[in-house]
Structure formats: structure tokens, C-alpha cells
Amino acid sequence: MDNYIVSARKYRPSTFRNVVGQKALTITLKNAIQSNKLAHAYLFCGPRGVGKTSCARIFAKTINCLNPTPEGEACNECESCKAFLEQRSYNIHELDAASNNSVDDIRALIDQVRIPPPIGKYKVFIIDEVHMLSSAAFNAFLKTLEEPPHHALFILATTEKHKVLPTILSRCQIYDFSRISIKDMVEHLEYVASCEGVTAEPEALNVVAQKADGGMRDALSIFDQVVSFTNGNITYQAVIDNLNVLDYEYYFRLTDAVLSGNVRSAMLILNEILNKGFDGQNIITGLAGHFRDLLVCKDEATLVLFEVGASIRERYKEMAKRCPDTLLFKAIELANTCDLNYRASRNKRLLLELTLIQLCQLNKPQQADDSKKKGLIEPIAQDNQPSVSQSVSVPASNGVSVASAPQPVSSQPQVVTTHMPSSISVPPPPATAPTRRSSRPPIGTSLKEIGVEKPKEEAVQQTATVVDEQTNSFTNEELVQYWDAFSNTIDKKVYLKNTMINCKPVLQENYYFEVAVHNPGQQEELINAAIDILSYLRSSLKNTRIQMRVRIIETNEKRLAYTSTEKYEHLLEINPNLSKLKEEFDLRLD
């Protein structure tokens, strides 16, 4: 028990040949040693557990080796190599910048730089997690890093290169370590298992490698954990039980439910997974990855992107043949959207179930066609209308639809177009007129159609079921007379009544009339009351084609003050003493 060493330390590489997954970098470092072209400062950066510190130690040992091999490796037999292996070498100094990040620590390191190495050619200083140094420590280190003694060599290691000062980066040769591939990790884990006398299934080691997320140190730590759990017999089932990993089988069952459109089966499978204690977000992210794996398995060219064991690979290939590309594209999109919305959702389980319902409907395109045939959601055709932004129309109480989008404030006339509501009494049609109420179209037009005159046939089709079209002529005096008559009927809307009293209509061509108002508030009042006003005028003047335009007088648009601040500034121009009053009593504008 006292002699036990974890695999991450026991199988830590001691030569460049043993470094896993960083072949390009190790070849570069060996060539630099063999050609004797060494820089005075190196920066090793990359994710955790990929071999940065290990390569730094191997590099430091190799450049001081007295009898290097022809391959550029250390001999491990000379005095310098033995001192390094026994951890008594004075040529190599390691500094943990996470706990030694002050200016005093850097000054102590600089003092050691001046002392030449007792054995070998170089004195190597390895500074781990260099991004943890303070700004003052970085600045104190700059001069020495730029012009060190000929025997000094610095190797900086960090997981967060973006936190290192640019002045430090410019003085170093930068080596970016990549994540170790699953294939390389599985091969190394098989080697470790053979050395330890452990039997392991390839699928089990593949799960361990995926859980490590590109870090060999994490993979070896998980390997030790699984070995303790299984007593040296690592199986796929034991690994997913110990690491709380969702089995591939659940994903295949969910895919079968999606392909068959069985919503109830999918929800039962989800309930079974949740009862095992798995987090919902892990489920949906795993499902998105599963659909992605199915997509890459459909083509031999993309099969290299799929990293699983041989037996699972064949099952994925068989399942991929049953899944259309369009279904997989949409499934990945739905799963990814669910993943993005998961944290913000208040009912997380319902979000997962809704996503599964949508997935199960992907393989039934005929349902969408049926819904269109039934007219469940049928957009209104806009043949004569230019492209405009989408608006939503809601039915008003008197049967005329009004757009819910607010009207923009401008000096341009706002045209309000409505049709005669059914509540207005009109003369009955002749007895011989045929009845055309077999299919009642929607009454009225939304404000989305402002300023667009529909063809006469379409207008007749929409209004013929309610009233006959009337086009009696009238004068401007008659229009103003009934305008005033309607304003006299207003009791509660005082602002509207005053607007109608002060702003009179002016008759124009094609039964249009225009009302010039002084501010956007009056314009909005008239637009909001347009349905009632036009209904009254059409009934009184016996003309169903009357339309109204509302515009702001341009001369008043800039002159009038509408907000509290504008009113205050206007009054301040008249009487500057108001500012003193405001300051003295600490008044605020609401």
C-alpha cells in the first residue's frame, strides 16, 4: 500500500518517444536539440493533462545529457540524467507560479539565473501555470527573459495563453499542445492495462477516453478508479455504472421511437432515464451527439470523425441507414435548441418532452400537408401589396380587424382603411337578390394593408355578405356636419372630442378625406377611433367607400413640446428663473 503509485505518475513519459498524441511537437524539439538551435525561452500552452510539463522536463533532461542517443533522446545513464531521475539535479529548477507569483519570488529566481550549472551546459527554469504571475512579477521578469545568460533557458507552461502578457509572448517560442485523440488514449490505456495485468473491453476504454475529454492524466485517473471498482476486470457495463454515463442503448431506443413517430414510447424512455438519476441537460446533449454520430456514419468519407469501439460502430452504421439526412439535420437542430433553452426553462422536464414530441413528428411530413389542406393556418394572400414587416391582426368587438403593431409617428398621412361593420343598420337588399352567406370571409382589413386599395371584385366578395356597396356623393359641409355630430356623442374620451372639435376634415378625391392634426397624440387618438368614426360617417352619408387620412402639420411637428422635459425647456426659454426654482427646491421632472 505504501509503494502504490497512481498510473498518472507511474506511467508519466520519460522520453520523447513515450509522449502520447504530440508527435509533431516532440519531433520539433528533438530536431532543435540535434541541430543545437535552442531558443532561450519556450512557452508550452494547451489544455490540462496533455503533456506540457512532462515535455518540459524531458527537454531539460535531454539538453543536459552527456551522451545523447542518435535519435535525440537522453541516455538515462550519465551523471546528469541520473541526478535528474533521482530528483537531485541542480540544473533544473521548477517554479509553481500559482503559489509563487509575487515580485520577490521572481527576484529570487533571477538571483539563481546568474549561477552557472555545475554539470552540463544549461540551467533550465520551468515555470508552471505562468499566467498566474502578477503584473508586477511579469514586468520584473521581462528583462531577464529577453536577455538571459548564455547558460540559462526558460520553459513556461500555461493552460491559458490569453492571460499571458503580449510582451512575454513576443520573447518566447510558442508551442501549442493539442488535445489527445480518443484513439491515442485508448491505445495507451491498453498498454497500461497490459502492464498492470488488467483485462479491459475496448468499448469500456473508449468510454473512459471520452470521459477524459482529451487529457491523458484524466484518463489514467479514471482508469485507476474503474480498476478499483471492477477488481481488474473492466467491462463496458461496469464503466457506465461507475462513471454515471448514459448507455448507448437508450439513445438507440429513442431513435427507434423517433423513426416510428411513437411519442408515448419516447416519453416512457425519458422517464426511465430520469428515474436513474441522469440530469436532463446531459440527456439532451448526449442525444444531440448521438444524432451527430449517426450523420457522420452515413458516409465513409466522414466515418473518420466517429470515435467509438468496433462493435458500437457497426450498430451506428446500421441505424444510420434508416435515418434520412433531413431528419438528422432537423433533429440535431431541435436538440441543440433544447440544450440552449434548458437553463432558462422553468419546467425542464416539459421542455425535454416537448423536444421529443417534435422529434417524433419529423418523420411524418404528410401531417403538415394535411393541416394545410384543412386550412388550419392559412396566410392571407397579399398579391398587390409590397413586402412589409409581419403584423398580427386581432378581431375588434365590432368585427373590424385592427393591427396590434403601434403606428409610427411621422408627418406623412396615416390612411385608415376599414369596411362596414355588421352592427350598422343599412337598407335591406332587394328580395330577388341571391343569398351569399355560404362561406363568411373575415370582415375588415388590418392596418398592415394601409394605403392599398384592393380590386373591386375582392372588396365586393368581402363586403357583399354584410351590406351592399353605397356610393352616394356628399359635400365637405355635410362631412363636417356629421363629423361634429359624432364628436357631440363622445362623453368619456375628452381628448378625442377636443381633437375632433379643433381638427376638421377636408374632403378629397375618391371619397377620401384628410384630417390635419398638431401632434402625434392627436394622430393616435383619431387612428384608434377610426373604426367608430368611419362607421358613423358611412352610415350617415350613405357611402361605404369613405376613407380617412390623418397627418401631422409639419410646421407644428418641431415647434410643439410634448414631453415633460421639452415643456420645461420651452418654459425655461420664456423665464430663465425657473432653473433657480428647480435647484432651490430640488425639483424633478416626471
pLDDT single digits (tens) 130-143: 898 888 888 888 88
Domain check: are 239 and 256 in the same one? no
CA distance 3 to 10: 11
Give the three-class secondary structure for 280. Answer: helix
How do beta strands 92-96 and 414-416 pair? unpaired
Check residues 305 and 147 and name the one with the higher pLDDT: 147
Residue 542 burial (C-beta neighbours within 10 Å; 0-12, 13-18, 19+): middle
Distance CA 372, CA 356 (A): 23
Kindly state the average pLDDT of the residues 151-178: 89
Measured in residues, the chain has a length of: 590
User: For residue range 301-329, what is the model confidence (pLDDT) as tens digits?
Assistant: 877 777 766 667 888 888 888 888 889 99
Q: Number of folded domains in the chain?
A: 5
Q: With residue 484 as reference, give the H or E element that holds it.
A: helix 476-488
Is 229 domain-assigned? yes
Residue range 328-362, pLDDT digits in tens: 999 999 999 999 999 888 898 999 999 999 999 88
Q: Which of 46-60, 363-377, 384-398, 547-561 has the lowest mean pLDDT?
A: 384-398
My answer on whether 533 and 404 are in the same domain is: yes
Q: Is 386 part of any domain?
A: no
**3-class SS of residue 93:** strand
Backbone φ/ψ region at 115: left (φ over 0), alpha (ψ -120 to 50), beta:
beta
Mean pLDDT within 162-189: 88
Q: Kindly tell me if the per-residue pLDDT of 177 is higher than 70.
A: yes
- 387 within some domain: no
* 136 and 239 assigned to the same domain: no
Residues 512, 567, single domain; the answer is: no
Do 170 and 309 lie in one domain? The reply is no
The answer on 155 and 119 residing in a single domain is yes
Q: According to the model, what pLDDT value does residue 470 have?
A: 80
C-alpha cell of residue 375: 386550412
Residue 278 belongs to domain with CATH number: 1.20.272.10
Question: Are 287 and 246 contacting, i.e. CB atoms less than 8 angstroms apart?
Answer: no
Is residue 414 classed as helix, strand or coil in its secondary structure?
strand
390 within some domain? no
Domain assignment present for residue 1? The answer is no
Same domain for 411 and 516, yes or no, is: yes
**Does some domain include residue 214?**
yes
**In a domain? residue 433:** no
Q: Which amino acid is at 493?
A: K
Q: Please state, in angstroms and as integers, the Cα–Cα distance from residue 513 to each residue in 155, 400, 445, 480, 543, following that order.
A: 84, 20, 19, 10, 13
Question: Rounded to whole angstroms, how far apart are CA atoms 566 and 354?
Answer: 51
**Residue 457 binned pLDDT confidence (cut-offs 50, 70, 90):** very low
Confidence of residue 367 (pLDDT cuts 50, 70, 90): very low
Summarised one tens digit per residue, pLDDT across range 221-276 is 998 888 888 888 888 888 888 887 888 888 899 999 999 989 999 999 999 999 88
Please name the residues in contact with 197: beta carbons below 8 A apart, sequence gap of 6 or more: 232
Range scoring the smallest mean pLDDT among 329-333, 464-468, 541-545: 464-468
Cell of 391: 403584423
Q: How far apart are CA 421 and CA 398, in angstroms?
A: 6
State pLDDT tens for residues 204-229. Answer: 888 888 888 888 888 899 988 888 88
Q: What is the pLDDT of residue 351?
A: 92
Domain that holds residue 284: 248-369
Residues 420/402, Cβ–Cβ less than 8 Å: no
At 44, the amino acid letter reads: F
Residue with the three cell numbers 529570487: 108
CATH number at residue 115: 3.40.50.300
432 within a domain of the structure (yes/no)? no
- Is there a contact between 85 and 252 (Cβ–Cβ < 8 Å)? no
Return phi, psi of residue 43, to 5°: -125, 115
Are 578 and 589 in contact, with CB atoms under 8 Å apart?
Answer: no
What pLDDT, on the 0 to 100 scale, is given for residue 350? 93
Q: Are residues 417 and 565 in the same domain?
A: no
Q: Over the Cα atoms of the chain, what is R_g?
A: 40
Looking at the fold, whether 167 and 189 belong to one and the same domain comes out as no
